Amino acid sequence: MLLLLLPSLGLLTGCVSVARSPIPTVPRVDLPRFMGDWYVIAHIPTFIEKTAHDAVESYALAPDGTIATTFTFREGGPDGPEKRYTPRGFVRDRVNRSTWGMQFLWPVKAEFLIASLDADYTQTIIARNARDYVWIMARKPESPAADYARHVGQLEAWGYDVTKLRRVPHAPR
């Protein structure tokens, strides 16, 4: 009888989810300083960006306080067709300004956490508490190896499966 129950117990334990702590966000974001172009260095991609090359996320502060966002990349390779998406960002946390909602389709606003941002606003990590997607971004299309390793270590500490990370190729500039 015990031998018959063991497989069932294994199936049930696979259904148990582990509660995770929320990913912390940076204590304060200077929104005007955060605006501009950010190159996607690596990501756990969404379905639209699985083969992205030369991916750049651009932010502009709109007069109504929202964030006009333009995400461009070449699909499939450096000579692939350019894709462009224009979601709208909404600052949810008016004090720290590090928790946003990103709206691709009304009315859904996907979670967008500015979880890491260096003091000179040249490198950032955008995360999600679901640990399903993440973006390591920089103001230049490359990141020093030591910085990249530090970012990957941080993602691992937050509970991300870093084996899913994909480096985004960028054409030489």
Look up residue 163 and give its two tokens: 């084996």
Mean pLDDT of 139-155: 96
Would you call 166 helix, strand, or coil by DSSP? strand
Residue 132 φ/ψ, nearest 5 degrees: -95, -35
Put simply, whether the predicted model's pTM sits higher than 0.95 gets the answer no
Mapping DSSP onto H, E and C, the string for 98-152 reads CEEEEEEECCEEEEEEEEEECCCCCEEEEECCCCCCEEEEECCCCCCHHHHHHHH
Give tens-digit pLDDT for 68-96.
999 999 999 999 999 999 999 999 999 99
> How confident is residue 12, by pLDDT bands cut at 50, 70 and 90?
very low
Q: Rounded to an integer, what distance in angstroms lies between the CA atom of residue 109 and that of residue 125?
A: 19
Which CATH code fits 22-167?
Answer: 2.40.128.20
Average pLDDT over residues 104-108: 68
- How far is 15 from 141, CA to CA, in rounded Å? 40
Mean pLDDT value of segment 152-158: 97
pLDDT above 80: residue 37: yes
Q: In whole angstroms, give the CA distance from residue 31 to residue 143.
A: 22
Cα 137 versus chain centre, distance: 8
Domain boundaries, the chain: 22-167
Q: Residue 10 pLDDT > 60, yes or no?
A: no
